[in-house]
Structure formats: C-alpha cells, structure tokens
C-alpha cells in the first residue's frame, strides 16, 4: 500500500524556506482546437535553506518541467513558486542551473570558465575565488586546460565550480551526472556531497536514479507518472558517507520503489502486471 506524502522537515532549520512550491499545475497546450496535455498536478514542496533535495520519478513524468518552473524558465499554468520569499517570474542569477549536457564555454580555459561571472569584483578577488573553487572540485593543475582536453567528469566539475563561484542562493541540477560512466558518477556523487557540506548551499537535484537520490539527498520527492502528483516525500535518516548495504538504506529504496509501483523482485510495475515494457512503464 502506498503511503500518503509525508511533509516532515528537518527541525533544526527555521525561517523563510529557500524554495516554496505552492499548488503548482502545468498543462502543455496543443495545436488550436486540441486538448492540452496535463503534466503536473497540485505540486507542493517546501525546501529549507541548506537542504539537499532530490526529485525522482518515471521517465517523462515532468521532473525537468518542475525544475524549469522553479528556476523561472517556464510559467506554471496555476500556482506559484517562491525562492527566498520572492515570487519567481523568470531566471535569476542568484539561482543557477546545471544541466546534463553542460553549458561551459569550450573556447575558454578552465579558469576563464569558472571566473566567467566574476567581472564585478577586483582582479585579485576574482583570481582568489577562481582558484578556491578549482581546488575545491579537484581540478588543481588544469587551470589553463581547454574543455577538449578534459574528460566528461572533469567538465562537470568545471560546471560545478563555475556555479559555486557565482555564489548562488540555490543550485538547481538536472541529471548532471546522467551521461557519465558508473565509476565517474559514483565519484562525482561523493565529491558533490563533500562540496555541499562545505558550501551549505540549497540544492534541488533531478535524477532518474533512485540509488543516486538516496546517496545524495536529505529528502527525496517521488513523482508519479504523468500527470505527475507527489506520491511520497521521504527523509533519508542516514549519516554520510552512506552505507549502501545498511537496512535503513535498503528500506528507503524499497519504499521509494513501492511508491512508484515497482516490484524489486521482478522489476516490473506492480500496477501493470505483465503488461509493462522493459523499462517498467505501463
């Protein structure tokens, strides 16, 4: 039986939430005369400052759409988003998005990419900030390298360094490790947790990987298939680094899978029976 969403928040964090999503609905219009496609329905999420939250759900359920609404790239059909108490009406340099495909500039060096948004500070401060974040993401010695000389994981480190150097209030991440190989993803997760613990930034991270979400997040928001509603908001009460074989870890994974209607034993959607496809979709 699927439990109703639990809205428990960390008790030590008070005050204005970093992100507040109130009754957000989203429909995508079709051509003239045809009915709109409902994507999101009645989404309510509150993220305290400094929290790491992951959003998971079936492929195509609207995870990225929700992130784009929160980041200001899309306008919801209904409802509102508040970031640091301010209504979101468009993108804001105080909130930065890191995409899976990357958006660093290939014609610039690592240092130039990291310092791209720092022209408002003195030259000495700019160099200090650049070096600080290059060191933090483990790219010391590659300051003068171009992106073609870097691996995929290293390019994502440049993305993270550039985002942090701009000192955003909130960091949005849309499957940033999805194109990386298994071992690189695993290392990047550990590094991201370390960086987050140092920087204390609020992070909203979209992923299709349940294990990734449990390894990273304070809480996991589980979306249903489209039109998406919140099936579960679950705290992950595990110290970091997380033991992937601990009973609490396995129980957390099982509860998220159950919320998605998935069977761990046979890998199919429990609500579809034998009619699901190879991906577990009805």
**pLDDT for 220-250, tens place per residue?**
999 999 899 999 999 999 999 899 999 999 9
Instruction: For strands 170-174 and 95-99, give the pairing.
Output: parallel
Give the pLDDT confidence score for residue 17 in this predicted structure.
92
Give the pLDDT confidence score for residue 277 in this predicted structure.
38
Per-residue b or e along 36-72, where b marks 16 or more CB atoms closer than 10 Å to that residue's CB:
eeebbbebebbbbbbbbbbbbbbeebbbbbbbbbbbb
Average pLDDT over the chain, rounded to whole?
85
Say what percent of the chain tops pLDDT 90.
67
Give the pLDDT confidence score for residue 30 in this predicted structure.
76
255 burial type by CB count under 10 A (0-12 exposed, 13-18 middle, 19+ buried) = middle
14-29+36-94+180-264: CATH number: 3.40.50.300
Q: Which two tokens stand for residue 88?
A: 């979101």
Residue 80 has φ and ψ, to the nearest 5°, of -145, 160
Contact 253, 210 (CB under 8 A): yes
The confidence band for 65, taking pLDDT boundaries of 50, 70 and 90, is very high
Positions of CATH 3.40.50.300 in the chain: 14-29+36-94+180-264
Q: In this model, does residue 180 exceed pLDDT 50?
A: yes
Mean pLDDT of 9-38: 78
Q: Which residue has the tokens 């992937």?
A: 244
Which of the residue ranges 4-18, 68-82, 152-166, 212-226 would you say has the lowest mean pLDDT? 4-18
Reported pTM: 0.84
């Amino acid at each position: 039986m699927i439990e109703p969403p639990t809205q428990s928040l960390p008790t030590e964090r008070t005050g204005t939430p970093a992100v507040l999503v109130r009754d957000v609905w989203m429909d995508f219009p079709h051509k003239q005369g045809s009915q709109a496609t409902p994507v999101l329905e009645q989404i309510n999420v509150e993220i305290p400052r400094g929290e790491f939250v992951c959003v998971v759900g079936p492929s195509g359920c609207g995870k990225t759409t929700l992130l784009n609404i929160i980041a200001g790239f899309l306008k919801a059909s209904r409802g509102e988003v508040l970031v640091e108490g301010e209504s979101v009406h468009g993108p804001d340099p105080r909130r930065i998005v890191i995409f899976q495909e990357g958006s660093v500039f290939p014609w610039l060096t690592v240092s130039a990419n990291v310092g791209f948004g720092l022209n408002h500070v003195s030259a000495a401060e700019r160099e200090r900030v650049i070096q600080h974040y290059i060191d933090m993401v483990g790219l010391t010695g590659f300051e003068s390298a171009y992106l073609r000389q870097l691996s995929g994981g290293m390019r994502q480190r440049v993305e993270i360094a550039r985002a942090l150097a701009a000192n955003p209030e909130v960091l949005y991440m849309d499957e940033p490790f999805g194109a990386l190989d298994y071992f690189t993803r695993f290392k990047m997760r550990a590094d991201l947790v370390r960086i987050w613990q140092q920087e204390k930034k609020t992070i909203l991270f979209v992923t299709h990987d349940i294990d990734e979400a449990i390894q990273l997040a304070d809480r996991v928001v589980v979306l249903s298939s489209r039109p998406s509603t919140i099936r579960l908001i679950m705290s992950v009460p595990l110290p970091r680094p997380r033991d992937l074989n601990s009973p609490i870890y396995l129980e957390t994974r099982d509860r998220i899978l159950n919320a998605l209607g998935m069977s761990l034993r046979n890998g199919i959607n429990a609500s579809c029976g034998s009619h699901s496809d190879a991906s577990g979709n009805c």
